[in-house]
Amino acid sequence: MRRTTKSLDEIFKSIASMPSYPCKICGAKYKTKEKIFICSDCQEKHEKRVEEARRRAEMVEYLLSICNIPRRYKNAIFQPTTEIQKKVAQYYIDNFFKKPLEEATDMLLFGAIGTGKTYLSCAFALELIRKRVIGVKYITEYELLNLYFQKEYIEFKSFKLSSVLIVDEIGKRELAEWQRVQLEELLSYRFNEMLPTIYITNLTEKRFKDFLGDRLADRLREANIARFAFVGESLRGI
């Protein structure tokens, strides 16, 4: 018993006589033989950060793989060129980067062909996925309704539930009754669940409202949809 106490004493003494060195990261001093070392707290924090970064990167990859952005726009760079694009780009940033997602308003981009509505929106969707890890999905109205027609209900639902949804090429053709019902139901659901939707169309604002019908148009008005008119020459082939 006495012998143990003595050897413990010796151990304590030898520890006390050891030099102390600061942890390379936090600077806290520890008694150690190594002059350069990382303390166990910092090591643990570092491993956690590495793991979080790995999970984040995995999530971003996953969201990119399901966003449905067409190949033509997969490498779109969020760099507005025209005045209207600059205005919309600023709104995109304020609407989706500077406040919680549930406070984001719906947006309507309408007007002339080839003015960069799809390009800018896809470029922004890619930013939102990469920088905020938010699920954004892109689809044309035709493709969306075709999913329903093909009985791809799970896929159809994944667009209905997407955190942010871009519906492009709205109103290219008249809708059959079942199409109107499905589109209205999907958009009403998103409106009620406060899931932001971005509407893109070549129709004028007035024709877009007529196309949607009174009920939806009225809801969008209530939701303070932000409207942007694209005018000017087509940017295609410049």
Ligand X SMILES: Nc1ncnc2c1ncn2[C@@H]1O[C@H](COP(=O)(O)OP(=O)(O)OP(=O)(O)O)[C@@H](O)[C@H]1O
- Nearest residue (CB) to Zn ion, 42 versus 101: 42
Q: How many helices (H) and strands (E) does the chain have?
A: 9, 7
- By CB under 6 A, residue 117 contacts ligand X: yes
Nearer to ligand X, 36 or 238 (CB): 238
In the bound state with ligand X, the residue whose beta carbon lies nearer, of 79 and 150, is: 79
Phi, psi for 165 (deg, rounded to 5): -130, 135
For the beta carbon of residue 155, count every other beta carbon within 10 angstroms. 16
Residues near Mg ion, by CB under 5 A: 118
* Residue 40 touches which of Zn ion, ligand X, Mg ion, none (Cβ within 5-8 Å per kind): none
- How buried is 177 (Cβ within 10 angstroms: 0-12 exposed, 13-18 middle, 19+ buried)? exposed
Of 166, 163, 198, 159, the C-alpha closest to 73 is: 166
Q: Which residue has the tokens 């019908």?
A: 213
* Cβ neighbours of 104 (radius 10 Å): 23
Please tell me whether residue 115 binds ligand X under the rule CB under 6 A.
yes
Q: Which residue, 85 or 118, is less far from Mg ion as judged by CB?
A: 118
Q: Which stretch binds ligand X (CB under 6 A): 62-70, 107-115, 178-186, 217-225?
A: 107-115
Which one of residues 80, 135, 171, 196 is an interface residue with ligand X (CB under 6 A)? Answer: 80
What is the four-CA torsion angle of 86, 79, 199, 122, rounded to 10 degrees?
Answer: 180
- Structure token pair of residue 167: 């519906």
Q: Of Mg ion, Zn ion, ligand X, none, which one sits near residue 114, judging by CB under 5 to 8 A according to partner kind?
A: ligand X
Tokens of 47: 């491993």
For the bound state, the minimum distance from the C-beta of residue 158 to Mg ion, rounded and expressed in Å, comes to 22
Minimum Å distance from CB 237 to ligand X?
A: 8
- Nearest distance, CB of residue 54 and ligand X, angstroms: 32
Report the nearest approach of Mg ion to the CB of residue 200 (Å): 6
Distance of CA 164 to the CA centre of its chain: 7
Which of Mg ion, Zn ion, ligand X, none does residue 80 bind to, with CB < 5 to 8 Å depending on kind?
ligand X
